[in-house]
Chains A and B, each alone.
Chain A
């Protein structure tokens, strides 16, 4: 509530600025420029700060929209408002084409790619005859509303800031939604996200296009505000400047976009007015200062200005998670039916056979353990089953389907949920949000519904389900804490809770008891036992023999990639081959 008040105060301040007595006109110009830059930076916050995709080419997308509108209004007499959807469509189309290539680039290849097309598009604008080459296009008509021309800087100022606030609120809505959680998982949580059915490649493309459309909106406004366009503001330097704003403001925070745009635009203006007095006309002190500041900011304040401002603001109280109708549940097969069958799967890495023609099965309502010494191929087997890796040969059948070559997303959709040996939670997201990520496939709200806040009923069901699962495992008091702040044992439970949110037929647990204290292990065993009574099937990899022996119905033993034994716990305890593998034949 208090943040909402702050937001209203900010809007009021922006609305009153032009009518306050004594505000010089160039302040309004400056504020309009800040608004235009904020829109582009807002896209970067989502793309780079949240999604982890660094782009130096955003200015090019402003150019697509600006040139589209400039051309259509000056050459073909279109009305500026009519060109808005056209300009944004052109930008979005360009973003899809460029994005299809770009988002596939990995690691540092991605920003390099954005530099390459950023420069190329800039040159392209300057070489096309129809776009006026280096001189660009001028005589662009101003916007008008109800026949009233918005040629006055104060009038367009309101239009610009209307879009800035609308864009910011829409972006906040998006981040606080089912799709938003998935977007926040892109950075550092890709493998986990895919294991819960999130199509990360498609999601990256969506974020890329979203950021481009915001940049396009800024470009369209720019064209009708400056009423002339040329290639310069759409070049690589402008793109670098936008990224600088995002980093300085605090990539990752929506309001950081405005903070960054504010500081950089203001600084640039001051430097451009002050430096000629000291250094003469030539010096480009702004770029020296910006470059140095960017370096300093990365060294001393990598989270940007907004991280500091946020600390001053009152913290939001944790929202109450209201009860909501339960999500529909999957039909569970009758206990004893075959659920998972692994038939002679094999995985070779070059000459190394990590998994050597292993076969076993999991029946519905059964807990099966996969055990073996270090390097026995347990985790690889897990990855083959869950679609993270593909078997070289052999077959995995799950719920009546061949999933040998299915992706992690497809396997999740069929009802297989997993945890990871090295906990893969998003440390800065709350426990609740991490767990709700598990229910991703059970919700339906898409990007547009989220932007317009039409996803609330759907979202309430997901969060209520997450809350129910958290309460069930006894972590209710930690629900709103960042997942990274919990002890390792609790984090493992959070991972299991997230997996439960998928409403799985089969739970795959990779060393769930590792790092747990004795008491926690007992709790975990009780939880898993309870799940079994409810009809859940579980396959787990585990080192703790006591834990495995007491809990499981069936044990499969691997050694050097091959299955050496399987059977009931009591039989395994006495199996000579197993004793040999574990104790080196001493027994």
Chain B
């Protein structure tokens, strides 16, 4: 017989992790529907966010800001080389502001504010500001030039980006793991278990993002443009939606969601430069269950993955990862049975 307290505790643990996986799963679905990229590097944004935030908390300046500046410069250079001759003066200004001005401003702010006494909220905003723009730059550098190639090519590119970002993570943050203080010390006893402020923050953030995404896609013009791009790239382009812009925007959202997940998770567990990959993959398991298309199915699947993981780590801790990743296989088989893949798509 299972002790009901343990059961509740495992459920709570599972739901917290599950909520985080839901955030990541939603970002993956978002990226896939708009750009057809299976966004393996999502996890790296989690690790970058977590480690940058933890470093800021100790008053140190994360190396992320230099990466941000470098990627901005690279994106600007690529834009200038590939489109330079056709760009108007105004486009040059926009590109310079977004690709050069923005990262330098964020780096400057970080240098100015970084100290041990900086409030957590400022650190949080700084972390978000230095991670989210990495998304659009990454899209511009690695994915936009091959935006129209097959899903498999985009996928292999994503694997390459994952490899490079993990290596960069080690260079930026070192091999030591970091952990941050909880956002709040508040706690809420619910029956026999205690919900920490961190738990509540995770639930609230997940709920807020789900609602936010829903509003964005249903109500805003940009959201509708993204959906149109997802359904038909050529058609979207014909009605005047800049699909490259949608791609960049989506990557920005995904990177931002990654950073938030990282900030939420780093007070709960020690994060290393390469921790993001496994966390991201669990979001993936959920996204696949949701067929890389359905937001609600993904969110529910993510909670299920979190709970399955919590129980697996209690009853068969040595085989936790194996159990979680093997969950994906029957789903893949099931999804494949329903999918119609033409020769042209392969």
C-alpha spacing A116/B285, complex, angstroms: 9
Is A187 part of the contact surface with B, judged by Cβ < 8 Å?
A: yes
Interface of B is mostly: helix
- Decide yes or no whether B213 CB sits under 8 A from chain A: no
Given A109-B336, A284-B171, decide whether A298 and B160 contact each other with a Cβ distance below 8 A: yes
Contact bitstring A280-310, B, C-beta under 8 A = 1, else 0: 0011111111111111001100100000000
In the complex, residue of chain A having the shortest beta-carbon distance to the beta carbon of B162 = A291
Q: Which of B149, B319, B343 has the most CB of A within 10 A?
A: B343
Q: Beyond A124-B322, A127-B319, A284-B171, is A108–B163 a contact (Cβ under 8 Å)?
A: no
What is the CA–CA distance of A568 and B107 in the complex, to the nearest angstrom? 82
Number of interface residues of A (CB under 8 A): 50
Q: B164, A292: Cβ atoms under 8 Å?
A: yes
The 10 closest A-B pairs by CB, nearest first: A291-B164, A294-B160, A291-B163, A287-B167, A288-B167, A284-B167, A106-B341, A295-B160, A106-B336, A116-B328
* Chain A nearest CB, measured from B148 CB (Å): 12
Q: Contact between B163 and A287 (Cβ–Cβ < 8 Å)?
A: yes
Interface residues of A in 515-535 (CB under 8 A from B): none
CB-CB nearest in chain B for A293: B160
Give the shortest distance, in Å, between B82 (CB) and chain A (any CB). Answer: 11
Instruction: A137 to B312: give the CA distance in the assembly, Å.
Output: 27
User: For the complex, is A478 an interface residue (Cβ under 8 Å from B)?
Assistant: no
Q: Does B228 contact A (CB under 8 A)?
A: no
Output the least CB separation between A234 and chain B (Å): 14
Whether A424 pairs with B343 at a CB distance below 8 angstroms is yes
Which of A188-196, A225-233, A405-413, A552-560 forms part of the interface with chain B?
A188-196
The answer for the CA separation of A237 and B274 in the assembled complex, in Å, is 12
CB pairs A–B below 8 angstroms (8 shown): A107-B339, A108-B152, A109-B332, A282-B170, A288-B163, A288-B168, A290-B164, A302-B153
> In the complex, which residues of chain A have a beta carbon less than 8 angstroms from the beta carbon of B346?
52, 107, 187-188, 190
Complex Cα distance, B269 from A152, in Å, reads: 47
B156-A298 in contact (CB<8A)? yes
The interface of chain B, by Cβ under 8 A from chain A, is 38, 142, 145-146, 149, 151-153, 155-157, 159-168, 170-171, 174-175, 281, 284, 288, 318-319, 321-322, 325-326, 328-329, 332-333, 335-336, 339, 341, 343-346
Report how far A164 CA is from B146 CA in the complex, Å. Answer: 34
Task: Name the distance in Å between A425's Cβ and chain B's nearest Cβ.
Answer: 11
**Cβ-defined contact, B163 with A294, below 8 A:** yes
Query: Judging by beta carbons under 8 Å apart, are B336 and A282 in contact?
Result: no
Considering only residues 99-121 of chain A, those with a C-beta below 8 Å from chain B are: 101, 104-109, 111-113, 115-117, 119-120
Chain B minimum-CB-distance residue to A109: B332
Q: Which residue of B lies closest to A192 (CB)?
A: B343
Contacts of B175 in A (CB 8 A): 282
Min Cβ gap A305→B in Å is 16
Name the A residues within 8 Å of B166 (CB-CB).
284, 287, 291
**Option from A113, A188, A189, A291 in Cβ contact (under 8 Å) with B167:** A291
Interface residues of A (CB under 8 A from B): 52, 54, 56, 101, 104-109, 111-113, 115-117, 119-120, 123-124, 127, 187-191, 237, 240, 243-244, 247, 279, 282-295, 298-299, 302, 424
- Given A290-B163, A292-B160, the answer on whether A189 and B343 have CB atoms closer than 8 Å is yes
Q: Given A120-B322, A187-B346, does the pair A288, B156 have CB atoms closer than 8 Å? A: no
Given A106-B336, A113-B329, output 14 extra A-B contacts at Cβ < 8 Å. Answer: A111-B155, A112-B284, A190-B346, A191-B343, A279-B171, A282-B171, A283-B171, A284-B170, A288-B164, A288-B168, A290-B160, A290-B164, A292-B160, A298-B153
Report the minimal beta-carbon distance from A442 to chain B, rounded to whole angstroms.
Answer: 24
Report the Cα distance A95→B175, complex, angstroms.
35
Could you tell me the distance in whole angstroms from the C-beta of A95 to the nearest C-beta in chain B? Answer: 15
A111 and B152 contacting across the interface, CB-CB below 8 Å: yes
| Neighbouring B residues of A295 by C-beta, 8 Å | 142, 157, 160-161, 164
Given contacts A109-B336, A299-B145, contact A117 B164 (CB under 8 A): no
Q: Which residue of B lies closest to A126 (CB)?
A: B318
Assess the B343–A113 pair: CB atoms within 8 A: no
* Given known A-B contacts A282-B170, A299-B145, A120 and B326 have beta carbons under 8 A apart: yes
Which chain A positions have C-beta within 8 A of B288? 109, 112
- Among A115, A127, A187, A291, which residue has the most Cβ atoms of chain B within 10 A? A291
Q: Which residue of A lies closest to B316 (CB)?
A: A127
Q: Chain A contacts of B167 at CB under 8 A?
A: 283-291
Shortest Cβ distance from residue A500 to the other chain B in the assembled complex, whole angstroms = 22
**How close is B30's CB to chain A, nearest CB, in angstroms?**
16
* A240 adjacent to B163 (CB under 8 Å): yes
**Alpha-carbon separation in the docked complex, A113 to B38 (Å):** 13
* A247 nearest CB neighbor, chain B only: B156
Closest A residue to B346 by beta carbon equals A52
In angstroms, Cα B343 to Cα A424, docked, is 9
**Once the chains are docked, how many angstroms separate the CA of A117 from the CA of B152?**
18
Cβ-defined contact, A54 with B171, below 8 A = no
